[in-house]
Amino acid sequence: MDTFVQQLINGLTIGSIYALIALGYTMVYGILRFINFAHGDIYMAGAYAGLFIATGFGFSVSPSVFAFAITLIGSMVVAAIFGIIIERFAYRPVRKFSRMTTLITAIGVSLFIENLFVFLFTNTPRAFPELLSNRTYHLFGNAAISKSQLLIFAVSILLMVLLQYIVFKTKIGTAMRAVSFNLASAKLMGINTNFIISFTFALGSALAAAGGVLTTQYTPQIYPLMGIITGLKAFVAAVLGGIGNVPGAVLGGLLIGMAETMVVGYGIKIGIPSTFRDAVAFAILIIVLLVRPSGLLGTTVQEKV
Amino acid sequence: MGPYLKYLLSALVILGLLIAINAMLSEAGLFGFGLSDYYGRLVVFIGINVILAVSLNLINGVTGQFSIGHAGFMAVGAYVSAYFTVYHGKAIEAWLTSHSFGLVGPTISSTLVLLLVILIGAVASALAGLIVGIPSLRLKGDYLAIVTLGFAEIIRIVIVNIDKVGGPTGLTVPGYANFLWVGIFAVVTIVIVHNIVKSNLGRALVSIREDELAAEAMGINTTRYKVIAFVISSAFAGIAGVLFAHYNKFLSTQDFQFIRSFEIIIMIVLGGLGSMTGAVLGAVVITILPEALRRLPDIHVGAHTFQLVDLRLVIYAALLIVVMLTRPQGILGTREFNLRWLKRKPVQEKLP
């Protein structure tokens, strides 16, 4: 039971990070019907931005809540600007072209960011400083939860609530939903769709950067290719929940995170070695999509002739 | 007998050309002209990538289905065939040489083994394509894409966990393949896919691409045709995998990561989606480009020297984006390169 609770906590920790990244995928997809393959790399860039802010301000020697908040917000701002730039110069010009063209552009952007970061910072992993004095709280039995894990939960929940507020209670959120519903009509209604799309990219990228900084407090190493597999799993999470659906992305992220830790913890008992960890996300996705072709919370659109 | 003679002649000419190139790549060279090993590898990889690109074009370009798991099927072919050659290859070769009254020497027997494992690899990949295709081809667009990507990753992770084929450390494979076989199979792939596109089956596939609902209304069993295209395409990916395994002489699952699938997609989109010559062109460009960028010069700015070579992958990615921004339909679009282009006359402008 103790180990189960422990696995649950670990799974939720990884899951909330996946959820934060998945939100970016799902929002962009909801508006543009476009898979932003570079999103995982924005997550990585956000982590690097966090590293430079933390070391630049000397937070590594004096950890505090303040230091963490500055690093988190700083990296979110940097990533938001980064996202806007990518959208403006790479995606906007190809938006009107076919799906394949936008896909290749996204892959190109992803390769560009990865290789640029490898060039600038080399492939060697860098240690990320601990921004909060870490301690572990013992729950019942042997299960424990660390301060960084609590932090990851708290920040993720806060950001998700904030996102929900922005999307459903503000004017810009209404505009976002309108654009997602029908881009052309939204334009006719006087919505500045280009601005809304930029804003969506900024929002998604900021959430990915938050995910990046939070990851570093859990596994304190960053490297230029860290976004590939995490980004892919977050994307799987977004599709699992029903791509384009905001609560679905959170649900998908948590599910994938938990499935992964459960396979590491218990898989061996049912004959699945822990090396299959990375395959589990895909296996779940495939099974779910075969039963519900548009994801768990996705709605099927009836095709009209 | 006219057209058949023409086909036979062109087949002979192509075969002769391939044999000549193969000789050029060998150590002795052809009449003193030889290419170094480095270029030899490059030419062989172009051939393998042509097979991959042309076969993927059948799904993504012709049928309009969005599959990004081609590397997975390539891996199936590569590993299944490598398993056979590593564990049974020597035995089959020995049996062949001892049961043929001295007619079959070591060269012929290794070639026969290669052809056998190509068949095995193609069948294995086709089966994998069938197993993946039947459930997933009901999905559409991006959902299909992510499921094929997922299957490819699962295939890769399963292979990593099989110790018999080397697991994470990789597998050494006997080098049976050479340029000649890669070239022959590249040509065979092009011919077969070309004929499929021009056949009834091809018309059905194109109609699915143009409008699935309309195609279904016309009585085309869309799922069935999609699965057929998927299986054929997977079989060719398997052949490419077999050739890759037996040319590279070493297999590692690192070579079949999803970035490999993306690379094949890039080839066909860059060349022009749906255009066969475009796929070939894309395969050539994408194979050569990273190597060509290794020759980037150093730039001297004052006392500083910048080695552009270190930036080659960044430049590669940037070029990719620039091509997509400037020619979103790919280099050839949906047209096919045709020799008639060269001799066509300028259109006379009619005056009123």
How many whole angstroms separate alpha carbon B176 and alpha carbon B90? 12
Query: Which range (A61-65, B34-38, B346-350) has the least confidence?
Result: B346-350
- CB spacing of B146 vs A235 below 8 angstroms: yes
Mean pLDDT to the nearest integer, B257-283 = 90
By DSSP bridging, strand A221-222 and strand A126-127 are: antiparallel
- Say yes or no: B317 contacts chain A, CB-CB below 8 A: yes
CB A266 within 8 A of CB A66: no
- Residues of chain A with pLDDT > 70, as a percent, come to 97
Q: What is the ipTM of this complex?
A: 0.86
CA A290 to chain centre: 24
Would an 8 Å CB–CB cutoff place A86 in contact with chain B? no
Q: Does A73 touch chain B (CB under 8 A)?
A: no
Do B317 and A112 form a contact (C-beta atoms < 8 A)?
A: yes
Chain A residue closest in CA terms to B155: A279
Task: State whether B153 and A98 contact (CB < 8 Å).
Answer: no
**For A37-74, b where at least 16 C-beta lie within 10 A, e where not — what string?**
bbbbbbbbbbbbbbbebbeeeebbeebeeebbebbbeb
User: What integer best gives the mean pLDDT of chain B?
Assistant: 86
Q: Is-contact B159 B79, C-beta < 8 A?
A: yes
Q: Is the separation of the CB atoms in A259 and A44 below 8 Å?
A: no
Is pLDDT at B345 greater than 70 in this prediction?
no
Confidence class of residue A132 from pLDDT cuts 50, 70 and 90?
confident
Instruction: State whether A111 and B317 contact (CB < 8 Å).
Output: yes
- pLDDT value of position A81: 96
CB B238 within 8 A of CB B72: no
Q: Among all chains, which residue has been given the structure tokens 């938990």? A: A258
* pLDDT over 90 percentage in chain A: 47
Digit-coded pLDDT (tens) for A16-41? 999 999 999 999 988 888 889 899 99
- Give B342's pLDDT tier (boundaries 50, 70, 90): low
- Confidence at residue B142, expressed as pLDDT on a 0 to 100 scale: 81
pLDDT at B350: 58
Beta bridge partners of B306: B299
Looking at residue A150, its pLDDT comes to 87
| B265 vs B297: which has the higher pLDDT | B265
A286 and B147: CB-CB below 8 Å? Answer: yes
Tokens of A135: 């301690």
Please judge whether A108 and B320 are an interchain contact, meaning their C-beta atoms are less than 8 angstroms apart: yes
The model carries a pTM of 0.89
Question: B88-97, B200-209, B306-315, B330-339 — which is least confidently predicted?
Answer: B330-339
Q: State the residue for tokens 């690097």.
A: A48
**Residue range B298-322: mean pLDDT, rounded:** 82
In terms of CA atoms, which chain A residue is nearest residue B139? A293
Best probe of the A interface among B265, B324, B334, by most A CBs < 10 A, is B324
Determine the Cα–Cα distance for residues A102 and B324; give it in Å rounded to an integer. Answer: 8
**Least confident span in A207-216, B54-63, B146-155, B329-338:** B329-338
pLDDT at B347: 55
Average pLDDT, stretch B308-322?
86
Check CB contact under 8 Å for B262 and A107.
yes
Averaged pLDDT of chain A: 88
pLDDT band, very low/low/confident/very high, at B81 (cuts 50, 70, 90): very high
Give the tokens for residue B191: 């011919």
Q: Any idea which of B5-9, B51-55, B339-343 has the lowest mean pLDDT?
A: B339-343
Instruction: Give mean pLDDT, residues B219-228.
Output: 92
pLDDT the model gives residue B197: 92
Q: What is the DSSP string of A196-220?
A: HHHHHHHHHHHHHHHHHHHHHTTS-
- For A63, the 3-state DSSP assignment is coil
Q: CA angle B142-B148-B154, nearest 5°? A: 135
pLDDT of residue B266 exceeding 70:
yes
A296 CB neighbours in chain B (<8 A) are none
**A112 or A98: which carries more pLDDT confidence?**
A112
Distance CA B277, CA B44 (A): 18
For residue B61, what is the nearest residue in chain A, using CA coordinates? A100
Q: Label each residue of chain B as H, E or C.
A: CHHHHHHHHHHHHHHHHHHHHHHHHCCCCECCECCCHHHHHHHHHHHHHHHHHHHHHHHHHHHCCCCCCHHHHHHHHHHHHHHHHHHHHHHHHHHHHHCCCCCCCHHHHHHHHHHHHHHHHHHHHHHHHHHHHHHHCCCCHHHHHHHHHHHHHHHHHHHHCCHHHCHHHCEECCCCCCHHHHHHHHHHHHHHHHHHHHCHHHHHHHHHHHCHHHHHHCCCCHHHHHHHHHHHHHHHHHHHHHHHHHHHCEECHHHHCHHHHHHHHHHHHHHCCCCHHHHHHHHHHHHHHHHHHHHCCEEEECCEEEEHHHHHHHHHHHHHHHHHHHCCCCCCCCCCCCCHHHHCCCCCCCCC
Distance of alpha carbon B348 from alpha carbon B334, whole angstroms? 25
Distance CA A237, CA A233 (A): 6
Determine the pLDDT at residue B346: 55
pLDDT the model gives residue A293: 82
Collect all residues with Cβ–Cβ distance below 8 Å to B326 and sequence separation of at least 6: none
pLDDT band at B16 (very low <50, low <70, confident <90, very high): confident
Q: Quote the CA–CA distance of B56 and B233 in Å, as a whole number.
A: 6
Q: What is the mean pLDDT of residues B56-61?
A: 92
Contact in structure between B286 and B267 (CB atoms under 8 Å):
yes
B250, β-bridge pairs = B172
More confident residue, A33 or B244: B244
Instruction: Tell me which amino acid residue A206 is.
Output: A
Token pair for residue A193? 């769709």
In tens, the pLDDT along A133-189 reads 777 777 776 778 888 888 888 999 999 999 999 999 999 999 999 998 888 899 999
A75 by DSSP, 3-state: which? Answer: helix
A256 — pLDDT class (breaks 50, 70, 90): very high
Cβ-defined contact of A239 to B138 (cutoff 8 Å): no
- Looking at residue A58, its pLDDT comes to 79
Tell me how far apart the alpha carbons of residues B317 and B348 are, in angstroms, rounded to a whole number.
42
B65 interfacial to chain A (CB closer than 8 Å)? no
Query: In this predicted structure, what is the pLDDT of residue A1?
Result: 66
Interface membership of B210 toward A (CB under 8 Å): no
Which pLDDT belongs to residue A135? 75
- For residue A239, CA distances in Å to A244, B78, B147, B338 come to 8, 30, 10, 42
Helix (H) or strand (E) holding A106: helix A99-121
* Alpha-carbon torsion angle A61, A62, A66, A68, nearest 10: 40
Q: Would you state the pLDDT for residue A274?
A: 76
Taking the CA of residue A165 and the nearest CA in chain B, the distance in Å comes to 28
**% of chain B at pLDDT higher than 70:** 91
Asked if the model's pLDDT at residue A301 lies above 90, the reply is no
Look at residue A96 and tell me whether its pLDDT is greater than 70.
Answer: yes
Q: Which residue of B has its CA nearest to A113?
A: B314
